[in-house]
Amino acid sequence: MVNSIREKLKAFNVSVLDVSGEYAKETDIAFVFLSQNTLGAAQYREKIEKMLERNFSEYHFDLEYEEI
């Protein structure tokens, strides 16, 4: 599953890192992207979230984000 998500995220030109713990049924994936402004970042996050919902609807996921 992680590889499938990673492949789908390639279309968004993001850096992807599997930061999962030891529990095999859970995974944590971090991805990083650059944006020129807050609005652009919000729109990009929305596109990524919609893609995840569309392609991986059978899985539960939570998105957390931080702007720097």
Summarize pLDDT for 2-45 with one digit per residue, the tens.
788 888 988 988 888 888 877 767 788 888 889 999 999 999 99
Q: What is the pTM of this model?
A: 0.77
Asked if the model's pLDDT at residue 50 lies above 90, the reply is: yes
Rounded distance between C-alpha atoms, residue 68 and residue 65, angstroms: 10
Asked if the model's pLDDT at residue 52 lies above 70, the reply is: yes
- Give, in order, the Cα–Cα distances in Å from 11 to each of 15, 16, 35, 48: 11, 12, 16, 10
pLDDT of residue 30: 86
pLDDT of residue 68: 83
| 17 SS3 class | strand
pLDDT of residue 24: 66
